[in-house]
Amino acid sequence: MNDDLKALIRTIPDFPKPGIQFRDITTLLLSPQGLAACIERMVAAVDGPVDLVAGVEARGFIFAAALAVPLNAGVLLIRKDGKLPGATIAEDYALEYGQDRIAIHADACAPGARVLLVDDLIATGGTARAAVRLLRKAGAVVTQAQFVVDLPDLGGADLLRADDVAASALVAFPGH
């Protein structure tokens, strides 16, 4: 399934450290046909209307903006803390070594807004789960998330599903 898209994603061994197989979507983005097919298939997988498509910094912004147009939805940017001007709300989450924090504008999401979470890749699910908590803290209804790539061996999509978020991806790769 989606082997045509999978073939456009480059694997870079031992990046950013030995043992990691980095799945590079920039090669998919270079293909107009591949990018168009990717967006078309992601739109087709959306369950019901959405008010906002939330993209996680930075590659998630690309897919959120592209999906928002055919979905007739706005784009909500989830940024690293300290990158947004004005009042924000934020959520902390654990990294392999330490903590990180993501934020949205405090007025970016009306209570009850139906939000689709989008990013290029899901691995352990730490950032995606923090994004769901953040959006729900703002009053959003988050029931679905889409990714271009899933690394199912790392379990992130399953953790999202445990948080009552239907998580799907166009392609999956084994390993890290």
Select which of 59, 101, 114, 161 is catalytic.
59
Verify whether residue 96 is a known catalytic residue.
Answer: yes
Measured at the CA of 102, the angle between CA 141 and CA 143, to 5 degrees, comes to 20
pLDDT tens for residues 92-101?
A: 998 777 899 9
Question: Taking the model in full, what pTM does it have?
Answer: 0.96
CA–CA separation, 167 vs 157, rounded Å? 6
Q: How far apart are CA 45 and CA 68, in angstroms?
A: 13
> How does pLDDT run across 3-13, given as a tens digit for each residue?
999 999 999 99
CA–chain centroid gap for 53, Å, is: 10
165 with 132: CB under 8 angstroms?
yes
For residue 41, indicate whether it is catalytic.
no
Instruction: Name every residue whose Cβ is closer than 8 Å to that of residue 69 and which is 6 or more positions away in sequence.
Output: none
Each residue's pLDDT tens digit, 16-26: 999 999 999 99
- Apex 115 CA angle, 175 and 168, nearest 5: 25
